[in-house]
Amino acid sequence: MDELSKQQQLLEMLKSGDQDDADIDRQTLRYALYVRKSTTGDEKQASSIEDQIRDCVDRVIAEQNLNLVDTYQESFSAKVADTREEFKRLIKDIHSGRINGLIAWHPDRLSRNTKEAGTIIDLVDRGLIKDLQFATFTFENNPAGKMLLGITFVMAKQYSEHLSESVGRGNRRAVEDGDFIGKFKHGYTIDSDRHFQPDPESFTKVKHMFEMILNGKSQKDVRLWINDQNYKVYKRQGADSVPHIWSKDDVSELIRDPHYVGVHRWGKNLVTLNELYDFEPMLSVDDFLKINKIDSLNSSKILAIKSPKGDGVKANFLRSIVYCGHCDKSLTSMLIDKKKDDVIFESRYYYKCETVGCIMEGKSAKAKYVIDAAQSFLSDHFFVTKNNYDVFIRNAKLQIKQSQHKMDSAIAKLKADIINKERSYERIKKLLEEDETGKLKVHYDLDQTLDELKQMKERCTKAIAMRKDIPNALPAFEEYLKLFKSTSDILGKIRDMKQMDAFIRTFFSNFTITASNNSFAKGSQVSYKLNEPYEGFVKSNDFVLGAGDE
């Protein structure tokens, strides 16, 4: 369409009379629900047929108690006009007067071509479609609304899909051509053809890193060496080189990256660079397999290098609150598993200093040292005075108020959800009873909805009971004494590390481990800072020492 035609269309739309939505009696209209999902191309990403129906029923039909006469659904692209049989049937039913209201998930479900988009707008203009609604798009039957709808029909979806397609196609083509597409590689620069070429400043250094691994050096040794080489990288084309400090993850990713043998990867796309231009690899395929401990090219272990290793069990015990006494930096939490016949029979927690330049860099301390220090403190400090108890109760009452407020909000939300669920059940039940086609029955299970409603009511009942029991959580003085005289014993009996972590964090703000003779072994000193109010109790000598009585 040329610019003049567009101006004329805009003029006609601005001339057309407004229709006041308030004048529409939606209860008298006969609605059709149209849902569509293409099984080809980028439209595979669109919401499923089932999800579209649910959204339209929940957000539009049930919400307004509309009269649904028929459902039209198909799995077919809407790019080409006159190819969708269900859409043709819908238009025929609208012309015949059987349908005069239309509901869809989004405008792009109705049309992605100019002809059929124009058909829908024309039917609205002529009053054959008296009400048009979408679950995820707001349409107003006025000139501005029609203009926005037309733009959305023809432009919005085409633009997003074209952009997605162009970017994906461009990246695939770049990989296929062996071009640089945004992620720099250590030891290489990018030439005018966007090809990877050896960087005179860093290529031999990175290559030596691989040689060190092949000669039996550890990744830590490699990292220490490269960080002493004044290593710099070009992270952007045309930019100056910048210093780069290698982390342990950097080294691990380097040796797992097949780019350095000439197999370049971007997402799911792979290409052999030497088939495209004279690429200089840093090591052979055999050496790459050796470094990654892979026996042969037929090994299933090759699949493991395609993605980073999973996190597995997190070493979260007292993470970020244990410090090195020599650099004042947080120690890294570590979990080391001991195995026998590939079965873990013991896990031990450690803390490791990874601060570059610290005298303790690379050295580890057992978590047992921290646990022993915490247990020793609790054995020597019984917070069992009357003032300890009064402060505890005061703080506990504040926490109870907060808990009650949260519970009140949760209960109110549950009650509102139950009401909405009950209303939704009744509306859907009515829809199913009036659905002559029977197509909606396959998408809704009323028995399941009743079960969900029952579970919601049970949760609400339990929440109300818990809310009533909250004040009963306050211990009497005798119960408090019994609890706080046994804190050390309780800590010693905890085996679940999450529970132990929570218990220790109740009393302690942080710990600092200071090595003895440059070794985190026996003899290391563990200091700590307490949380309030326990820090204040100790400073004011408001506690009972050891096993003595008050």
Label residue 163 by pLDDT band (50, 70, 90).
very low
Give the phi and the psi of residue 343 in degrees, each rounded to 5. -115, 125
| Distance (Å) of CA 206 to CA 171, 231, 260, 302 | 26, 9, 10, 22
Counting other chains too, the contacts that 328-337 makes at CB distance below 8 Å and 24 or more residues apart are 328/512, 329/353, 329/355, 329/358, 331/365, 331/513, 334/364, 337/313
Is pLDDT at 311 greater than 60 in this prediction?
no
Is pLDDT at 17 greater than 50 in this prediction?
no
Is pLDDT at 382 greater than 60 in this prediction?
yes
Is pLDDT at 197 greater than 70 in this prediction?
yes
Do residue 155 and residue 289 come from a single domain?
A: no
Residues contacting 427, CB < 8 A, separation 6+: 61, 62, 63, 65
| Distance (Å) of CA 242 to CA 7, 236, 245, 259, 441 | 54, 10, 10, 22, 63
Do residue 341 and residue 444 come from a single domain?
A: no
Helix (H, G, I), strand (E, B) or coil at 382: strand
Query: How do residues 228-248 score in pLDDT, each as one tens digit?
Result: 998 988 655 556 778 888 888
Do residue 367 and residue 292 come from a single domain?
A: no
- Residue 363 lies inside a defined structural domain of this protein: yes
Ramachandran assignment for 496, one of left (phi > 0), alpha (psi -120 to 50 degrees), beta (any other): beta
Q: Write out the two tokens for 478.
A: 């005798």
Label residue 167 by pLDDT band (50, 70, 90).
very low
- Residue 75 lies inside a defined structural domain of this protein: yes
> What does the pLDDT read at residue 227?
92
> What is the number of residues in the chain?
550
Do residue 379 and residue 523 come from a single domain?
A: yes
> What does the pLDDT read at residue 79?
66
- Residue 159 lies inside a defined structural domain of this protein: yes
At position 9, the amino acid (one-letter code) is Q
> 504 and 349 in contact (C-beta within 8 Å)?
no
Is pLDDT at 89 greater than 80 in this prediction?
yes
Do residue 271 and residue 129 come from a single domain?
A: no
Range of the domain at 227: 195-306
> 100 and 126 in contact (C-beta within 8 Å)?
no
Instruction: Centre a 10 Å sphere on the Cβ of residue 541 and count the other Cβ atoms it contains.
Output: 7
Is pLDDT at 56 greater than 70 in this prediction?
yes
Is pLDDT at 38 greater than 60 in this prediction?
yes
Domain closes at, from 444, 471, 498: 471
> What does the pLDDT read at residue 116?
82
Do residue 267 and residue 322 come from a single domain?
A: no
**Highest mean pLDDT of the ranges 196-210, 228-242, 426-440:** 196-210
Query: How do residues 126-137 score in pLDDT, each as one tens digit?
Result: 889 999 999 887
Is pLDDT at 426 greater than 80 in this prediction?
yes
Domain closes at, from 285, 306, 327: 306
Label residue 306 by pLDDT band (50, 70, 90).
very low
CATH of the domain at 240: 3.90.1750.20
CB-based burial, 331-369: b 16+ in 10 Å, e otherwise: bbbebeeeeeeeeeeeeebbbbbbbeeeebbebbbbbeb
> 426 and 450 in contact (C-beta within 8 Å)?
no
Is pLDDT at 390 greater than 70 in this prediction?
yes
Do residue 458 and residue 429 come from a single domain?
A: yes
Instruction: Centre a 10 Å sphere on the Cβ of residue 35 and count the other Cβ atoms it contains.
Output: 25
- Residue 412 lies inside a defined structural domain of this protein: yes
Q: For the ranges 103-117, 146-160, 478-492, 507-521, which has the lowest average pLDDT?
A: 146-160
DSSP 3-62: HHHHHHHHHHHHHSPP--GGG--GGG--EEEEEE--SSGGGGGSPPHHHHHHHHIIIIIH
- Residue 534 lies inside a defined structural domain of this protein: yes
d(CA 443, CA 530): 57
Q: Write out the two tokens for 68.
A: 């649904």
**Highest mean pLDDT of the ranges 71-85, 86-100, 185-199, 430-444:** 86-100
pTM of the model: 0.42
- Residue 380 lies inside a defined structural domain of this protein: yes
Which residue has better confidence, 223 or 59?
Answer: 223
Is pLDDT at 205 greater than 90 in this prediction?
yes
For residues 99-120, give the mean pLDDT. Answer: 86
CATH of the domain at 41: 3.40.50.1390
- Residue 185 lies inside a defined structural domain of this protein: no
DSSP conformation class of 241: P
> What does the pLDDT read at residue 310?
39
% of the chain surpassing 90 pLDDT: 20
d(CA 108, CA 278): 47
> What does the pLDDT read at residue 518?
79
Total domain count for the chain? 4
Burial class (CB in 10 A: 0-12, 13-18, 19+), 469: exposed
Do residue 360 and residue 408 come from a single domain?
A: no
Q: Write out the two tokens for 534.
A: 């326990």
Do residue 37 and residue 101 come from a single domain?
A: yes
Label residue 425 by pLDDT band (50, 70, 90).
confident
For residues 43-70, give the mean pLDDT. Answer: 80
Do residue 325 and residue 207 come from a single domain?
A: no
Do residue 14 and residue 141 come from a single domain?
A: yes
> 31 and 64 in contact (C-beta within 8 Å)?
no
**Half-sphere exposure of residue 228: CA atoms within 13 angstroms, side-chain side:** 8
Instruction: Centre a 10 Å sphere on the Cβ of residue 82 and count the other Cβ atoms it contains.
Output: 10
- Residue 186 lies inside a defined structural domain of this protein: no
Do residue 372 and residue 520 come from a single domain?
A: yes
Query: How do residues 246-280 score in pLDDT, each as one tens digit?
Result: 888 888 888 888 888 888 766 556 677 777 778 88
For residues 283-296, give the mean pLDDT. Answer: 78
H or E segment to which residue 354 belongs: none
